[in-house]
Structure 1
Amino acid sequence: MSIVYGCYGIIPARYDSSRFPGKPMADICGKPMFWHVWNSACKCPEMDKVVLATDSPIIQDAAEKLGVPVVMTADTHTSGTDRVLEAARKLSLPDDCVVVNIQGDEPCLAPEMLSELVSPFADGSVRVTTLASPITAEEAQSPDRVKVALAKDSRALYFSRSPIPYSHDGSGKYLLHIGLYGFRMEALETFAGTDASPLEKRERLEQLRLLENGIPIHVTVTEHSCHGVDRPEDLDTAIKILEREKI
């Protein structure tokens, strides 16, 4: 596939976390977690550049020692998207480029997922993209697993913590939303310039702000899975996966 736009990955990395303080610095196979995310993202051929965006001098110092490009951002941001936007502005990225918000707690990220994420931007009308993967009806019951329902053209109809679409007989397929986003720079600016929407507040899902403001989200269904590190006990799984890949 020929990519005709600039594509930039930004990894928001906040040091403070109520569930896992210092998470981006967690040691995985001798390197901090943020390095593994950056290293995987750099293997995506569509990425022109991948940088870390942080509010922590500790993370900044570690990144510089490891040769990871880093942008310092404010410590007042309430979301990773806001941090990504500040970094994109500091990098003076053009309006027609694609900015990819890469979760900083995905050390096992498959580079192919980023290729799938940005592929829809070959269509100049696409403004925002994300990913989803199939899950079972049992898994869909958890409010921690955000579900998405799609139109025939792969646009997101709705995101919810509830199982959607509802199935009266308990059957049907469900799609798990994967929190990777691609934005045209202008769409990222528009998103940040609007207030939190009613549905966003109700579901506590910021992507609903886009839908409520008429900005479509194109969803690519991937067969790849995520293994995010939310808590310290998740590190063992990530380490086993990365060690298995090395073997």
Structure 2
Amino acid sequence: MTHTDRTFIAVIPARHASTRLPGKPLAEIAGEPMVAHVWHRARESAASRVVVACDDVRIREALAPYGAEVVMTSPAHPSGTDRLAEVAEQLALADDAVLVNVQGDEPLIPPALIDQVAARLFEDRDASIATLAEPISDVQTLFNPNVVKVVRALSGRALYFSRAPIPWDREAFAKRPELLDTDAWLRHVGLYAYRAGFLAEYCGWEPSPLEQLEQLEQLRALHHGHAIQVALSLAPHPAGVDTPEDLARVRALLTAGGEDEGEADQ
């Protein structure tokens, strides 16, 4: 891959030993394992290649009937980012190769968002990462520490990510927390595009102080001076599967054929 083209690889990290939902990638949804649904979605994107990066042979065996490309990776990786870095190394990708991290627990992911995040990285040649965000429209979401917020510069590059409600409206929030201008607050969408060379660097760094405080990996890149482009999502980003309740909701949607219903409910 060279800078003259826009080909990219979609990589789906799939970890069997999920804490809250063990064996999550293999959870059955509408007759198929969850990871197969994610693979189908990624195949509908413009990715030139779709790779599942897993840590358990049971995932590889479940995907064999689909003809999916699978790369076995170490079960010791602390994050999906580290798993992607191993994939880039195993596939001997050039430093400027672009990989999109499509999380293995998002069976409703719109293919258009995969394409969008890759395109954003191609548009900013000096950025190491691209990601997405969408407007926050209610107070509960803004003040929920499980929802990551992001603020951007005029260029679209991230200034900071936080679990706190940023930016802080000094005048309004001092009286009563309420949203006065919904365009001011953005929720981070955890879909990333990386350059392979950056992934190799990233995994050699120790976790940064702010990353450890906020428990947000992307702050390690900002700590080391790397630029992160943040585009506004072209489509609502559906909720992923973290809990048994999430799994039941997605099963109901896909079994009923209602993939578009409730996708923005997160």
Bin of the TM-score, shorter chain as denominator length: over 0.9
Residues 16-27 of structure 1: pairs in structure 2 closer than 5 A: 16-27=17-28
CA contact (8 A) 1:141 1:163 kept: yes
Match of 1:174 among 176, 185, 188: 185
CA contact (8 A) 2:43 2:50 kept: yes
Query: Which sits farther off after the overlay, 101-110 or 173-182?
Result: 173-182
CA contact (8 A) 1:29 1:239 kept: yes
User: Unpaired runs of 5+ in structure 2?
Assistant: 173-177, 262-266
Q: Which residue in the other structure is 1:239 paired with?
A: 251
Q: Which amino acid aligns with 1:128?
A: I
Structure 1 residue 24: Cα displacement? 0.5
Q: Is residue 113 from structure 1 mapped to residue 74 from structure 2 by the alignment?
A: no
Q: Which residue in the other structure is 1:220 paired with?
A: 231
Residues 130-169 of structure 1: pairs in structure 2 closer than 5 A: 130-136=131-137, 137-168=139-170, 169=172
**Following the alignment from structure 1 to structure 2, what is the Cα–Cα distance between the partners of residues 229 and 11?**
14
**Following the alignment from structure 1 to structure 2, what is the Cα–Cα distance between the partners of residues 154 and 226?**
23
1:200-241 C-alpha deviation (Å, 9 max, x unpaired)? 000000000000100010001114222200011112322343
Structure 1 residue 108: Cα displacement? 0.2
Q: Which amino acid aligns with 1:32?
A: P
Are the structure 2 counterparts of residues 246 and 119 from structure 1 closer, same or farther at C-alpha, using a change threshold of 3 Å? closer
User: Unpaired runs of 5+ in structure 1?
Assistant: none
CA contact (8 A) 1:85 1:188 kept: yes
Structure 1 residue 107: Cα displacement? 0.2
Structure 1 residue 117: Cα displacement? 0.4
Residues 1-247 of structure 1: pairs in structure 2 closer than 5 A: 4-45=5-46, 47-120=47-120, 121-136=122-137, 137-168=139-170, 169=172, 170=178, 171-172=180-181, 173-222=184-233, 223-242=235-254, 243-245=257-259
CA contact (8 A) 2:108 2:259 kept: no
Are the structure 2 counterparts of residues 162 and 128 from structure 1 closer, same or farther at C-alpha, using a change threshold of 3 Å? same
1:137-182 C-alpha deviation (Å, 9 max, x unpaired)? 3211111101101111110010001111111203343211111110
CA contact (8 A) 2:6 2:119 kept: no
Secondary structure (helix, strand or coil) at the match of 1:219 reads strand
1:40-90 C-alpha deviation (Å, 9 max, x unpaired)? 011112x11011001111111111232211100111111111011111211
Structure 1 residue 97: Cα displacement? 1.1
1:78-109 C-alpha deviation (Å, 9 max, x unpaired)? 11110111112111111111011111110000
Structure 1 residue 246: Cα displacement? 9.2
**Following the alignment from structure 1 to structure 2, what is the Cα–Cα distance between the partners of residues 164 and 245?**
32
Q: Give the TM-score, by structure 1 length.
A: 0.94
**Following the alignment from structure 1 to structure 2, what is the Cα–Cα distance between the partners of residues 197 and 40?**
34
Q: Give the TM-score, by structure 2 length.
A: 0.87
**Following the alignment from structure 1 to structure 2, what is the Cα–Cα distance between the partners of residues 107 and 236?**
13
Q: Which amino acid aligns with 1:84?
A: L
CA contact (8 A) 1:11 1:38 kept: yes
**Following the alignment from structure 2 to structure 1, what is the Cα–Cα distance between the partners of residues 136 and 32?**
31
Runs of 4+ in 1 over 4 A off after TM superposition: none
**Following the alignment from structure 2 to structure 1, what is the Cα–Cα distance between the partners of residues 228 and 209?**
18
